[in-house]
Chain A
Amino acid sequence: DTGVSQDPRHKITKRGQNVTFRCDPISEHNRLYWYRQTLGQGPEFLTYFQNEAQLEKSRLLSDRFSAERPKGSFSTLEIQRTEQGDSAMYLCASSLGGAQPQHFGDGTRLSIL
C-alpha cells in the first residue's frame, strides 16, 4: 500500500530563487490538497484539486505560488522569488472523496537562506 509521496523531502535555497515540489497522491484518490505547516502550528490550507481542476485557493497563496495537477494524478507546487517567510513544511494530502479522511505525505521542508 503506497501512501502519499512527496519529493524532495528537504529543500534549501537562497532567497529569491524559485522552487518546485511534487506530490504523488494515493493512486485512486481524486482529491488532492496542499497545506503549509510551521513549527508549533497546525497545518494551514493552501489549495485543493478535484481531479485536474483547482477548486479553491487560500488567501495565504500569494501570486508567487502556483499549483498544478495537469492529468489529475500528481501535483506540483511552485514558489517563485522565495522569501524568508516561505520557510515551512509543505504537506500534501489526498482523499478518495470529499467526505473521506485526508491522508498526508511526509512533506517537503523548505529552508530559505
Chain B
Amino acid sequence: GQNIDQPTEMTATEGAIVQINCTYQTSGFNGLFWYQQHAGEAPTFLSYNVLDGLEEKGRFSSFLSRSKGYSYLLLKELQMKDSASYLCAVRDMAGGATNKLIFGTGTLLAVQP
C-alpha cells in the first residue's frame, strides 16, 4: 500500500532553523516533492528529490534517503511568512501508473516572533 507520514504541527521561532520530516511507503517510488500551502491558497512547489542526498535552494533544503523511505525539508532563517502547511508528496509509478502524486496530510508550521 501507500503511506506517507509527517508531523501534524510544528512551532518554531523567527530566525531559527526547522526540520520537517516525512516517511513514506510506496511500491513504485519515483521522486519526492515538497510543497508549501498557505491557508486558502494553492500548493506551491518548493523542491524535488529523486536521488539520495541533499538539494539546496536558498533558505530551503530537502534531503532524501530512498533506502530508509525518509525525507526532510529544512527551512533556515525562518520568517513570519513561512507560517504555512508543508506537504510531502511522493510520485507513484506502481503498476505503470501515471505521474500522480500521493500527498501526506501536511505539517502546519507556526513561526513565532
Interface residues of B (CB under 8 A from A): 4, 31, 33, 35, 41-45, 48, 87, 89, 97-106
Q: Do A56 and B48 touch (CB < 8 A)?
A: no
Given contacts A42-B89, A99-B31, contact A105 B102 (CB under 8 A): no
Given contacts A42-B87, A43-B43, contact A95 B105 (CB under 8 A): no
10 A-B pairs closest in CB distance: A42-B103, A104-B42, A98-B99, A45-B100, A101-B45, A56-B98, A48-B98, A106-B42, A104-B43, A43-B103
Closest to B41 in A: A106
Query: Can you report 7 A-B residue pairs in the complex whose CB atoms are below 8 A from each other?
Result: A40-B105, A42-B4, A45-B102, A50-B98, A91-B42, A102-B101, A104-B35
Known: A48-B99, A56-B100. 6 other contacts (CB 8 A): A33-B101, A42-B104, A42-B105, A42-B106, A56-B97, A95-B99
